[in-house]
Amino acid sequence: MEAARASHTSRVSRVSRVFQAGFRVAVVLALTLASGACTYPLASEPPAGTSSSDSQTALPESPVADFFAHEMLSRGAPAVVVQIKVRGREWSRAYGSQDVETGEPVAVTDRIQAGGITQSMVAVSVLKLVQEGKLGLEDPVTEYFPEFEQLVHPPGPVTIRSLLNHSSGLPDAPEAILKAIPPKQAIDTRFSIEDYLRMAGTVPWAHANFQLFRFSDANYVALAAIVQKLRGRPIGDVLKSEIFVPLGMSHTSLSAEPDRDARGMIQSYEFIDGERINASQPEYLVGSPAEGVISTVGDINTFYAALMQGRLLTANTLRDMQTLWQENHGLGLQRWNDECTNGFYYGYGGSTWFASIALSTSDGSRQIAMSFAYPSDTDKHIESTDGTGQSEFEQLREVAIATMNGLC
């Protein structure tokens, strides 16, 4: 969330650091990939802090992910967590501190803001309703959510599909929110579905033909409203009963109330107007059906493996979900090239006060989930929750893809 502006001097310094770090990451990627296509680099022993079920099922160290994690710590990131799984073998590691104020070491099982990964989960809940015949992808939103028209003033019909793949043209709310209230107050404000959409409705629609990609969290806020109406319960409860509990994702939730006293949550901070605030579970994200899931890298990998292996949706519905629209988006999924198989990786990534990403092969046999808490002086985040313009997030994505391409 871009909630505060650094001085010109600090911005130039940060850009310089990002450029240098990006160059160093590129060198590591080049060396790794040059060592042999689809060859996983070996290490003599798993490093301290590596987690695995036992030494015989552990993967060797991932030097690309390891380098990136140390690079982020050197830039001031409080913590980095990563889990890699390949055909039943695992390599996972946590770097840094769960809380820089206490110095408590971070664990792989500590919870993070899942950010945009939330949208994959909400998309599954929508597509389950499609499978049950309770709504159609080409149906107008107003058929199930009549208030939509009054809240956001669309210039024409908007379909369920266009919300799922961000082609509706629906504006997002942060621009209006930050015009109406100061950044610190925005972070401390909880928005209901109706309030969020009402704020989005004050921003002009970019086009009237609804065929251009425009990433907007408001799309998934509107989808949650439809799910709640058709299921008769809050979206967090729907995700819990349909996804989290059946898959054993015991560390994952989309709660209506934050659990700030709970142990096991990585703490993220941000400076606003010279004051450092805790942004680990800000009111702005509490219960957000676009960005608000709290999870772990292990639970996130569990979710995408189940999705790819057909344990959440039928094959035909999953195929619809994976079908690319524009800007690398399908229906709640993103897609990247799999150089091992000439196929694709599926998953999602996003940027809040954490940068998080997950990739999975189409059969769920190779996976990576990575997340880090941003350095407290980073310009972020509510205006770019898809990671656009966040160089650290873009590097995270490239590292995740390169690591997967070395796991053939």
- Per-residue model confidence (pLDDT) at position 261: 60
Query: What pLDDT is stored for residue 121 in this prediction?
Result: 98
pLDDT tens across 268-305, in order?
988 888 888 888 888 889 999 999 999 999 999 999 99
Residues 23-49 pLDDT 10s: 444 545 444 443 444 443 333 334 434
Inter-residue contact 380 to 174 (CB < 8 Å): no
Please report which confidence band the pLDDT of residue 208 belongs to, taking 50, 70 and 90 as the band edges.
Answer: low
Mean pLDDT (whole number) for 100-116? 94
* Greater pLDDT, 310 or 271: 310
Least confident window among 191-195, 210-214, 382-386: 382-386
Token readout for 153 is 């003033």
Tell me whether residue 220 is exposed, middle or buried, using C-beta atoms within 10 angstroms of its C-beta: 0 to 12, 13 to 18, 19 or more.
Answer: buried
How many beta carbons lie within 10 A of that of residue 350, not counting itself?
27
pLDDT of residue 378: 65
Which pLDDT belongs to residue 110?
97
The string of pLDDT tens digits covering residues 56-81 is 567 777 889 999 999 999 999 999 99
Q: Give the pTM.
A: 0.87
Q: Is the per-residue pLDDT at 226 higher than 70? A: yes
Cα 182 to Cα 8, 174, 243, 290, 400, distances in angstroms:
21, 11, 36, 22, 35
Looking at per-residue confidence, does 60 or 183 come out higher?
A: 183
Q: What is the mean pLDDT of residues 93-117?
A: 95
Distance (Å, whole) CA 284 – CA 382? 9
- Count the neighbouring beta carbons within 10 Å of the beta carbon of residue 102: 9
Average pLDDT over residues 146-163: 95
DSSP structural state of residue 353: S
CB atoms within 10 A of CB 316: 9
| Cβ count near 5 (within 10 Å) | 12
> Considering the chain, what is the average pLDDT of its residues?
84
More confident residue, 52 or 63: 63
d(CA 403, CA 400): 5
- Cβ–Cβ < 8 Å for 357, 67: no
In this prediction, residue 213 has a pLDDT band, given cuts at 50, 70 and 90, of confident
94-110 mean pLDDT = 94
335 vs 95: CA distance, rounded Å = 28
Beta strands in 324-402 (DSSP E): 334-338, 343-351, 354-361, 366-373
pLDDT band of residue 391 (cuts 50, 70, 90) is confident
Helix (H, G, I), strand (E, B) or coil at 198: helix
User: CB–CB of 290/166 below 8 Å?
Assistant: no
| Residues 27, 28, 30, 31, CA torsion sign | positive
* Cβ contact 128:164 at 8 Å: no
Residue 6 pLDDT > 80, yes or no? Answer: no
% helix / strand / coil in the chain, to the nearest 5? 35, 20, 45
Split at pLDDT 50, 70, 90, the class of 395 is: very high
Of the candidates 384, 393, 391, 405, the residue with the CA atom closest to the CA atom of residue 175: 384
Helices (H), 286-406: 297-308, 315-322, 391-405
